[in-house]
Amino acid sequence: MKILDLFNLTEQQQTKLAGLGDVQVIEPQDLNDNNSKEIDAIYGWDAHAEEVLTASPKLKFIQSNSAGVDYMPLSEFQKKGIILANVSGIHAEPISETVIAYVLSFARGIVTTAAARPDKRWVGDQVRMQNYTLKNRTAVIFGTGHIGEAIAEKLQFFGTRTVGVSRHGNPVAHFDEVVTDDQGTDRAAKADFVINIMPLTPATKHFFNKEFFDEMINHPVFINVGRGPSVDTQALIDALDQYKLAGAGLDVFESEPLEKSSPLWEMDNVILTPHISGGFQEYGAEAFDILYKNLASFIQTGEVAVNKVDLSAGY
């Protein structure tokens, strides 16, 4: 079986895959008209994968190296009977830590005082007693999967009340309460922090729009570590300008890289990071563990062991 490697497997990792039996790793630079027809599996996704998807009738398993798979042609996978697995789970720790970094940067006056730094203004007396701690604050988290749960666990540790929002509203560990989508806006309106970690689907596109932000009577800090297009960017900018939101922590954007013309770059009450919240030094090793488990299972049974994507739901 031939697997196309689009995520830079190390030599050691390749050796380990070879131990599964008749596994041949093809690197993208070695892809040609002959072997592209014979690819059984792909690790990762880029233009080479699109080629192979067209060329190889044998392609039956794709292991993505991301949690979200909205950038892949899912309906085509469905038509061709291709099994897709993601690496959902490994992002929970890094992303939840980034969320806590955002939240505390707002709570502890780091964002406010950073705005005075270019002018070297010492604003201690103005800011000191405006600061707050996370105790008895409320966070509403849209999305109660692995990552949402990890965020909730950390916020609960700091004494913050956690409200989850999901399609089903079923209880999830580390949430004081979980409500359904239709109650989410109401809970968010009264919260201190509103955090998005929903996958991008037709149902979540522009979920955070003018109507949503208009409801935010408690001026929460809005955090997006989910997907950029879940947010109507112009509505977000307006909400920040009009102090419907106290601030925003944004790792993802409707178009990436964020265009240089975006006002977000220059807004004092916004923390920006360039879609890095899921990254960490051990990412390659942890993603490989999932690939290895799934490839082993796929070879033996034709099914993956973990993290199979529901191609209709999109995650």
Q: Do 291 and 63 touch, CB atoms closer than 8 A? A: yes
Tell me the residue type at 124: G
The two tokens of residue 226 are: 């989910």
Residue 226's CB: how many other CB atoms inside 10 A?
27
Q: Which of 29, 32, 47, 135 binds a second copy (CB under 8 A)?
A: 135
61: left (phi over 0), alpha (psi -120 to 50) or beta: beta
Scanning 27-35, 103-111, 294-302, 304-312 for contacts with a second copy by CB under 8 A, the matching segment is 103-111
Token reading at 66: 């991301």
Strand duo 138-142 + 83-85: pairing:
unpaired
HEC string of 21-32 equals CCCEEECHHHCC
Q: Alpha-carbon Rg of the chain, whole angstroms?
A: 22
> Any catalytic annotation for residue 91?
no
Say if residues 59 and 40 touch (Cβ distance below 8 Å).
Answer: yes
- As measured in angstroms, the least distance from the Cβ of 285 to a second copy is 11
Mode of pairing for the β-strands spanning 193-196 and 161-166: unpaired
Of the ranges 39-47, 97-105, 138-146, 163-171, which one interacts with a second copy (CB under 8 A)?
A: 97-105
Which part of the chain contacts a second copy (CB under 8 A), choosing from 68-76, 191-199, 210-218, 272-280? 272-280
Number of residues that bind a second copy (CB under 8 A): 50
The least distance separating a second copy from the CB of residue 183, rounded to whole angstroms, comes to 29
Among the residue ranges 55-63, 112-120, 137-145, 294-302, the one whose residues contact a second copy (CB under 8 A): 112-120
Residue type (1 letter), 149 = E
- Catalytic annotation present for 27: no
Q: Which of residues 234-263 bind a second copy (CB under 8 A)?
A: 256-258, 260
In eight-state DSSP terms, residue 144 is -
- List the one residue from 16, 190, 206, 275 that touches a second copy (CB under 8 A): 275
Q: Where do we find the tokens 């392609």? A: 59
Encoded one letter per residue, x for contact with a second copy by CB under 8 A and - for no contact, window 152-191 reads --x--xx---------------------------------
- 14, 38, 218, 283: residue in contact with a second copy (rule CB under 8 A): 283
* Closer residue to a second copy, CB minimum distance, 127 or 299: 127
Residue span 38-67 as binding mask against a second copy, x where in contact by CB under 8 A, dash where not: ------------------------------
Rounded distance, CA 289 to CA 298, Å? 14
- How many beta carbons lie within 10 A of that of residue 45, not counting itself? 21
- Supply the minimum distance, in Å, between the C-beta of residue 24 and a second copy: 27
Residue of 271, 290, 304, 311 interacting with a second copy (CB under 8 A): 271
Look up 48 and say whether it is catalytic: no
Of the CA atoms within 13 Å of residue 73, those in its CB half-sphere come to: 14
The contact set with a second copy (CB under 8 A) reads: 93-94, 97-98, 100-102, 104-105, 107-110, 113-114, 117, 120, 122-124, 127-135, 154, 157-158, 256-258, 260, 265, 271-281, 283-284
| Residues tagged active-site | 227, 256, 275
